[in-house]
Structure 1
Amino acid sequence: MARHTFNFPYSKALELSNRYSYTKTSKNPPSVLLYLKSLQFSDAQIKYAVSASPQILFTALETILMPKICFFQSLGLSGSRLPDFLSKHSQLLTRSLHRTLIPCIDIMKKVLSSNVNDNHDLFLALSRCSWIATSTERLSANLTYFEKECGIRRPQVAMLMKRQPRIFIFPESHVKGLVARALEMGFSLDSKMLVHGIFTLNCIGVETYNRKLKLLRSFGFSEDECREMFRKVPSLLRTSEAKLRFGLEFFLETNNLKKSSMVQYAGSLMYSMEERVVPRYRVLEVLKEKGFVENGPSLLYALRFREEEFVEKFISRFPDDAEELLMAYKSHLVVAGNK
């Protein structure tokens, strides 16, 4: 059946047949297929779901599968959103509704404070890692650890759950290891930045961290200065080495910025060099050349403004030279357009 209905390769069809040989005469699969089609599942979506979780074809339709579908509908999944989500996360339909799904979802909703009629944050987390709703024990244990032992407040836990839900299904030893690494970097349990440190360290490995540390050290920063920069802006560790190197070279060498200022304003390395930093630097250089500013505002100061504010403060107020200043500011667009 699987081979003809879904056009599976012979090997895949044989595997399913052998795994579920006891149901060969069952009427369940056709009933399940008709039910899924009635919910607007396309053939491709059904094939995708069955490939990942073939057992759903052999699940008791009225007593097991339908109540689970109804549960997700009650959470706000309707129309095309239902098949789109469940086809990608069909393993959820293989879990016990009352022992696993409902308890896990209830815990997540309390953390995320999701609107009962929308549950946008809930489905955002589930879409990123649906396995978070498959283990009540790990979810509860990690949530308790973050809040009770690490002192991370609920809104920050919610942020972590939305952005990186897989952390909540890790073994306790792994989670404690992430926290220990964050503390070694200088984060403290009473710091609001701890959760950002945990998030970042979970995104990268020890080797990547050491490479970023080595890169900063090559520009003359001490290890303590490197750690301070990471504590101020943990996302620096997730930035590509190429972007970091370009930013450091530009600020320290082209703009002659002091290392102490770079440490203090480490977030400047997160701005787009091509879209924000370099264009504003060019404008400031033109202003200095024309003598419009005696010493010239610092680049770090100029980076703080929104684009409209920057244009008003550093370009529009010099109407006789606005065209030249605007050309300096927008030249990166001209170059990009000619590529």
Structure 2
Amino acid sequence: MKAILHSLTTRLPSPRPLLRAALSLPKPITTSSDLFRQCGCTDSEISIIFHRQPSLLKSDLQTLESKLALLKGLGLSGSDLVKIINCRPRFLATRIGRGLDDRIKFLEPLFGSRQTLLKAIIRNPSLLNYDLNNHIKRTVSLYESLGVGREDLVPLLLSRPTLIPRSSINDEKLEYIRRAGLAPDAKMYKYVVAIMAISRIETIREKVANLERFGFSNDEVMGLFGRSPLVLTLSVDKVQRNMTFVIGTMKLAARIVLVYPFLLYYNLETVLRPRFMVAERIRLMGLAPQIKGPALLRALRMTESRFVKVYVQCHGDEKDDGVGKELMQFYVNAKRFKRLAVASKKPVHRGFPF
């Protein structure tokens, strides 16, 4: 009898393997959170996704699963999905399957590698939605016709994600590009072309006219754009305020910005005015080194820590009640000055900033 019972018990499967198999079964997907978790998103990342786009909580699971499978198949991770949805909250509400293979076949050789392409997609997820012929190929052909090859176009696409849908060229823009005086192989040429292409022609005219009011000729303005194309991205208000300070307060000639364009870029309240006030304070106190002439321009271009070390802390230990502490307090107070009536200024929305 014992032998029979022993043979029966040895034939029964052990419960431990069955338990392990049951525990290893994938949990059924019942919510959108399960789908994102399956793609590698953490709970905190899922919370960010739903905060940016709450409608995803009620998405059709089958449709959402197919879209996430396409993105995961491209090599995008869970953290990449968070960046994409943070950039384009309604991205998963669009149709991304139609023509996707053709876009990838064209874009991957354009960007040189799948890794670079994924970097571009994270910065501009709409690359997966743009019409291949009417948008992507048209833009690439446009820049190639202007002398901007694909190896130069890729950095532009990474730095300005909306380059593809916003680029357009007409005869007047071509004339502006020609008058910038750059050869197609010049380092700044591709930036001039790109900024001109994505800017409204009315905006370009307005910014050229704004600089001409300070006594520059049209050729000088275009030469400035050729040497420092990002001047075209500055608002009219910022250029006016910085130029007024340079001419009226610093008592420098307007043409100095043609040689030192950084005077137009730097923030007036946090860099130009406080450092110029420190220079004047040092002059009135008769301290050395003085900040005037070429030294003033060098001081304005210094990093914050270097400026403080070279022109403020050099006058004594801040722990003492001496000149160094007084000058440091003066500099801190100067940086606290705010633009008058900035809180009551009504924002003007004009669409794309260029």
TM-score scaled by length of structure 1 = 0.69
Give unpaired runs (5+ residues) of structure 2. 1-28, 37-48, 317-321, 344-354
Do the aligned residues in 2 keep the contact of 1:217 with 1:226 (CA within 8 Å)? Answer: yes
Deviation of 1:153 (Å): 4.6
Q: Structure 1 counterpart of 2:70, which letter?
A: F
1:90 and 1:194 map into 2 onto residues whose CA distance is: 37
Deviation of 1:162 (Å): 2.1
Q: Give the secondary-structure state (helix, strand or coil) at the position aligned to 2:148.
A: coil
* Superposition RMSD in Å: 3.7
Q: Which residue of structure 2 aligns with residue 302 of structure 1?
A: 299
Q: Which residue of structure 1 aligns with residue 229 of structure 2?
A: 234
2:174 and 2:204 map into 1 onto residues whose CA distance is: 15
1:318 aligns with 2:315: yes
Deviation of 1:236 (Å): 1.9
Is the alpha carbon distance of 1:112 and 1:279 closer, same or farther for their aligned partners in structure 2, counting shifts above 3 Å? farther
Task: Provide the aligned length of Structure 1 versus Structure 2.
Answer: 287
1:48-59 alignment, distance < 5 Å: none
Deviation of 1:317 (Å): 1.8
Do the aligned residues in 2 keep the contact of 1:160 with 1:199 (CA within 8 Å)? Answer: yes
Q: Give the secondary-structure state (helix, strand or coil) at the position aligned to 2:147.
A: coil
User: Comparing 292-301 with 245-254, which one deviates more in the overlay?
Assistant: 292-301
Q: Which residue of structure 2 aligns with residue 246 of structure 1?
A: 241
User: Comparing 241-250 with 255-264, which one deviates more in the overlay?
Assistant: 255-264
1:210 aligns with 2:205: yes
1:186 aligns with 2:180: yes
Q: Which of 247, 257, 270 is matched with 2:252 structurally?
A: 257
Q: Give the secondary-structure state (helix, strand or coil) at the position aligned to 2:255.
A: helix
Deviations 1:76-98 (A, max 9, x none): 434475486386223653542xx
Give unpaired runs (5+ residues) of structure 1. 1-32, 51-55
Deviations 1:179-217 (A, max 9, x none): 625424425322222222233334532222222222222
Q: Which residue of structure 2 aligns with residue 150 of structure 1?
A: 146
Q: Give the secondary-structure state (helix, strand or coil) at the position aligned to 1:257.
A: coil
Deviation of 1:261 (Å): 1.9
Do the aligned residues in 2 keep the contact of 1:73 with 1:82 (CA within 8 Å)? Answer: no
2:129 and 2:171 map into 1 onto residues whose CA distance is: 23
Q: Structure 2 counterpart of 1:323, which letter?
A: K
Do the aligned residues in 2 keep the contact of 1:46 with 1:87 (CA within 8 Å)? Answer: no
Q: Which residue of structure 2 aligns with residue 332 of structure 1?
A: 334
1:63-212 alignment, distance < 5 Å: 68-79=67-78, 82=81, 85=85, 88-90=90-92, 93-96=95-98, 100-113=99-112, 116=115, 119-126=118-125, 130=126, 133-137=129-133, 138-147=135-144, 149-169=145-165, 174-175=168-169, 180-188=174-182, 189-212=184-207
Q: In percent, how many aligned pairs have the same letter?
A: 21
Deviations 1:247-274 (A, max 9, x none): 1011122112123322111222101111
Deviation of 1:242 (Å): 1.8
Q: Structure 1 counterpart of 2:136, which letter?
A: L
User: Looking at CA atoms only, which structure, 1 or 2, has the larger radius of gyration?
Assistant: 2
2:207 and 2:254 map into 1 onto residues whose CA distance is: 16
Is the alpha carbon distance of 1:136 and 1:262 closer, same or farther for their aligned partners in structure 2, counting shifts above 3 Å? same
Do the aligned residues in 1 keep the contact of 2:225 with 2:232 (CA within 8 Å)? Answer: yes
User: Comparing 214-223 with 133-142, which one deviates more in the overlay?
Assistant: 133-142
TM-score scaled by length of structure 2 = 0.67
Do the aligned residues in 2 keep the contact of 1:109 with 1:122 (CA within 8 Å)? Answer: no
Do the aligned residues in 2 keep the contact of 1:252 with 1:259 (CA within 8 Å)? Answer: yes
